[in-house]
Amino acid sequence: MLSRFLPPPLPPPQSWYPGHMTQFSRILPALLARTDVVLELRDARLPLTSVNKNFEGALNRWRAERVRLSEHAAASSPNASARVCERVVVFNKRDLVPEWGVVPFQKAMAAKFPDQRTMFVSWNRPNDLRTLSGLLVNIARKYPHIPELNVLVVGMPNVGKSTLLNALRDVGIPGPTPKALRTSAQPGLTKALSTRLKLSQDPLVYSFDTPGVMLPFLGRGDRGAERGVKLALIAGIKEGLYDHEALAAYLHYRLNALDSTKPAYLTLLPPGTMPTDDLHEFLGSLARRLGMLQRGGVPDFPRAAGWFVRWWRDEGNAASTRRTGWGLDLEWRAEADTSDAAACVERFMAQEAQEEDEGGAVSTTQERKRIRDDKRAKRALRTKARLAAKRAG
Q: What is the pLDDT of residues 315-327, one digit of tens each?
A: 877 655 455 677 7
Query: Whose CA is closest to 129, among 178, 190, 193, 200?
Result: 200
Per-residue pLDDT band for 46 (boundaries 50, 70, 90) equals: very high
Residues 292-305 have pLDDT tens digits of: 999 999 999 999 99
Span 207-232, average pLDDT: 88
C-alpha 29, offset from chain centre: 20
Position 373 pLDDT exceeds 70 = no
Q: 56 near 27, Cβ under 8 Å?
A: no
Residues 308-365 have pLDDT tens digits of: 999 999 887 765 545 567 778 887 776 666 788 888 889 888 888 888 877 655 555 5
Per-residue pLDDT band for 232 (boundaries 50, 70, 90) equals: very high
Span 16-45, average pLDDT: 89
Amino acid 22: pLDDT: 85
C-alpha 152, offset from chain centre: 15
Amino acid 209: pLDDT: 83
Amino acid 238: pLDDT: 86
Position 386 pLDDT exceeds 90 = no
Q: Of residues 218 and 388, which shows the higher confidence score?
A: 218
The mean pLDDT value of the chain amounts to: 84
Query: Whose CA is closest to 48, among 230, 229, 186, 212?
Result: 230
Burial 123-140 (b: 16+ CB within 10 A, else e): beeeebbeebbebbbebb
Q: Of residues 329 and 82, which shows the higher confidence score?
A: 329
Position 197 pLDDT exceeds 80 = yes
Q: Of residues 180 and 5, which shows the higher confidence score?
A: 5
* Rounded-to-integer distance, Cα 202 and Cα 180, Å: 19
Amino acid 130: pLDDT: 94
Position 244 pLDDT exceeds 80 = yes
Q: 116 near 89, Cβ under 8 Å?
A: yes
Per-residue pLDDT band for 2 (boundaries 50, 70, 90) equals: very low
Amino acid 338: pLDDT: 72
Collect all residues with Cβ–Cβ distance below 8 Å to 267 and sequence separation of at least 6.
319
Amino acid 356: pLDDT: 81
Per-residue pLDDT band for 188 (boundaries 50, 70, 90) equals: very low
Amino acid 122: pLDDT: 93
Amino acid 120: pLDDT: 95
